Structures are given as C-alpha cells and as structure tokens.
Amino acid sequence: MNRSEILSVIREELAVAAPDVPGDADPTAHFGLDLEVDSLAVLEFVARLEYRFGLVVPDDAWPGLTSIDAVADFLETAMVAAS
C-alpha cells in the first residue's frame, strides 16, 4: 500500500470517528488543537485504523499521533516492520 492509499484510508476512518473534520483538512493540522477532535474520537479513530490495517498501536506511539501526516508516517513504518 502506498502513501496515497494510506492517506485515503486515514481520511475515510477519520470521517467516521470525527465527522466534523473536513475531508480536505490540512494533513499537518493537529487533531486536538486545530481540528478540535476530542480524545474519545481519537481513540475510536485509532481503534478503527488498528482493525483496518491489522496492527496494534503501542501505548508509547499514541502521543505522536497528532495529525493525519503523523498517523500516515506511523502506519508506513509499522507496515514495513510487519512485513
């Protein structure tokens, strides 16, 4: 899966977990500070991504998942490590 496909899945799952986030949101925007996504929506979002990608996000990775780009970076790395 390439980065474009990963970003597409991220935006799909974010739209379900946080429907108020615009589909064309800046990928560098901070979930909480800029996009006003609350912590429960982030929890649901990450859980959806874990299921969709068949990965587990370790506890120490959560603080770094602050934007669409940061999540894409994490997923790219995690998918390479898993293969």
Per-residue buried b or exposed e for 41-61, using 16+ beta carbons within 10 Å of the residue's own CB:
bbebbbebbeeebebebeeee
* CATH class entry, domain 3-82: mainly alpha
The pLDDT tens digits of the residues spanning 46-74 come to 999 999 999 999 999 999 999 999 999 99
Q: Domain coordinates of the chain in residue numbers?
A: 3-82
Q: How many CB atoms lie within 10 A of CB 12?
A: 14
Spatial separation of the C-alpha atoms in residues 21 and 51, rounded to whole Å: 21
Provide the token pair at 80.
């390479």
> pTM (2 decimals)?
0.94
**pLDDT at residue 17 tops 90:** yes
